[in-house]
Amino acid sequence: LVSLTIATTLQHPLSRGSSHINGQDPLLTPLIDPAFLSHLFDAWLMVQAAKQARKIMEQPQYKNIILNKQFPGPSVQSDAEWLVSVKTALELNVNHPLDTCALMPEDRAGVVDPQLKVYGTENLRVVDASVIPIQIGAHPALTIYAIAEKAAELILNPTT
């Protein structure tokens, strides 16, 4: 038995989500909105990718071996129908979401400064993937290690 899956994903999404505290109680679950496909270009690109995946699977080489197509059904034709299907399939995101506490100027929706300190706080730092301001086209592990090394340097050798 052979299984074939075509997966499409955005390597550099333009959609921007948000995360916020949910009141004064630190034990309350934060308010998180990933806003997947909220940017029109992201939505258009994923629709085009899904259409292309269907075209590939309809090639003669695959017709005889594909027993069960799961996504989307043949009734999906218009871009609006494709978008609904793509958004429905987005329950599983294969990216490593970043940028919930972006290292950017505060007036551009940044959360931390170049010292990794949260704007408006005395000495609260964020040291993880959430400070990366854009999605990177690779596994983020090495970038996160570099952020941690830089944070250690900033903490051990504070500037005045």
Mean pLDDT value across the chain: 87
Domain encompassing residue 45: 1-95
Q: 95, 115, 134 — which closes off a domain? A: 95
- On whether both 36 and 75 belong to a single domain, the answer is yes
pLDDT, residue 146, reads 97
Same domain, 65 and 112: no
For the question of residue 20 being annotated catalytic, the response is: no
Q: Residues 8, 82: one domain?
A: yes
What is the tens place of the pLDDT at every residue in 54-96? Answer: 888 888 888 777 767 777 878 899 999 999 988 887 655 566 7
Give the closest residue to 10 by CA, choosing from 76, 110, 80, 96: 96
Mean pLDDT of 123-152: 92
In this predicted structure, the answer to whether residue 101 has a pLDDT above a threshold of 60 is yes
pLDDT beyond 80 at 32 = yes
At residue 49, the pLDDT reads: 92
> By three-state DSSP, how is residue 72 classified?
coil
Domain end marker among 95, 115, 140: 95
Give the residue from 95, 119, 142 where a domain finishes: 95
The stretch 41-59 carries a mean pLDDT of 91
* CA atoms of 83 and 80, how far apart (whole Å): 5
The mean pLDDT value for 102-131 works out to 94
In the beta sheet, which residues pair with residue 32? 19
Which position among 12, 20, 39, 139 bears the catalytic label? Answer: 139
Among the options 12, 20, 39, 96, which is catalytic?
A: 96
Q: Is 12 a catalytic residue?
A: no
Same domain membership, residue 103 and residue 89: no
The confidence score (pLDDT) of residue 95 equals 66
Domain count for the chain, please give it. 2
Check pLDDT > 70 for residue 117: yes
Q: What pLDDT, on a 0 to 100 scale, did the predictor assign at position 89?
A: 79
Report whether 16 contacts 39 (CB < 8 A). Answer: yes
Asked if 50 and 72 touch (Cβ cutoff 8 Å), the reply is: yes
Mean pLDDT score, 24-38:
89
